[in-house]
């Protein structure tokens, strides 16, 4: 069974530029999550989708972050414009049952 | 709201010694509890989980954790560590109903020395 795929693995941008991350969950997993992991901290939920609907985006900085999940499968997370404090690893996870989440390898973003 | 506290940011230990990584949580409702491991430049891998039933849960590589409801703890233990256990370990909690997103602790870096 293929795992959660994410791309790119690494991205370096200048502040005020825009960037997008892509996630392909495990086939059949209805729930998809985006987490932000700042260096030295645990992951923090940004947004949760159930199929293509948003369940929780209370911690998503909506002035600069946006996310979508088209057709309830792949998802993209966008930052526009990026700030220095957005430097982090962005993790995508998916789950079939609400008891276990499977994580992708993450995208490491560096904002200069 | 729920929160997770991992009391130790780093735990150095010698190979073949026992280790305990501490985790305490706070929640007003029933929870599921998890331990995830993260090796350098990799994503999170589930190590073990407590959903219900027996309060002692075990992983396939020798780790175990015990759910203590009265002390709101879910400490991770291993009787004899290997060099390959060197990694970052995260404790996490989710509600057993509703949205079920994970709330993570800040992590404990386990450093196994020869």
B106 at A interface, C-beta within 8 A:
yes
For the stretch B25-69, pLDDT in tens is 998 888 889 999 999 878 899 999 998 888 888 888 899 999 998
B17 at A interface, C-beta within 8 A:
no
Task: Return the pLDDT at A16.
Answer: 96
pLDDT of chain A, 112 residues: tens digit per residue: 689 999 999 999 999 999 999 999 999 999 999 999 999 899 999 999 998 899 999 999 999 999 999 888 999 999 999 999 999 999 999 998 767 899 999 999 999 9
Q: Which residues in chain B have Cβ-Cβ distances shorter than 8 Å to A93?
A: 44
Distance CA B70, CA B89 (A): 23
Name the phi and psi angles at B84, rounded to 5. -70, -10
Residues 6 or more apart whose CB falls under 8 angstroms from that of B68 comprise: B55, B74, B75
Task: Return the pLDDT at A2.
Answer: 80
| CB-nearest partner of B32 from A31, A33, A99 | A99
Q: Which residues in chain B have Cβ-Cβ distances shorter than 8 Å to A104?
A: 43
| CB-nearest partner of B100 from A4, A35, A98 | A98
Using alpha carbons, select from B42, B109, B47 the residue that is nearest to residue A89. B42
Task: Return the pLDDT at B25.
Answer: 94
């Amino acid at each position: 069974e293929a795992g959660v795929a994410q791309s790119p693995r690494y991205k370096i941008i200048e502040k005020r530029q825009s960037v997008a991350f892509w996630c392909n969950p495990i086939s059949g997993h209805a729930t998809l999550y985006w987490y932000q992991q700042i260096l030295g901290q645990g992951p923090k939920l940004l947004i949760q989708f159930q199929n293509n609907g948003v369940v929780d985006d209370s911690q998503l900085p909506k002035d600069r972050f946006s996310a979508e999940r088209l057709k309830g499968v792949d998802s993209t997370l966008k930052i526009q414009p990026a700030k220095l404090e957005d430097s982090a690893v962005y993790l995508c996870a998916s789950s079939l049952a609400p008891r276990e989440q499977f994580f992708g390898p993450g995208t490491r973003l560096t904002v200069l | 709201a729920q929160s997770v506290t991992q009391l130790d940011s780093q735990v150095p230990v010698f190979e073949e010694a026992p280790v305990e990584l501490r985790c305490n949580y706070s929640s007003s409702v029933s929870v599921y509890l998890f331990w995830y491991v993260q090796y350098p430049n990799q994503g999170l891998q589930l190590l073990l989980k407590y959903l219900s039933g027996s309060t002692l849960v075990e992983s396939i590589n020798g780790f175990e954790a015990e759910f203590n409801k009265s002390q709101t703890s879910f400490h991770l233990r291993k009787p004899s560590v290997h060099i390959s256990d060197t990694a970052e370990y995260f404790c996490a909690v989710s509600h057993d109903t509703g949205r079920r997103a994970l709330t993570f602790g800040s992590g404990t870096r386990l450093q196994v020395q020869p």
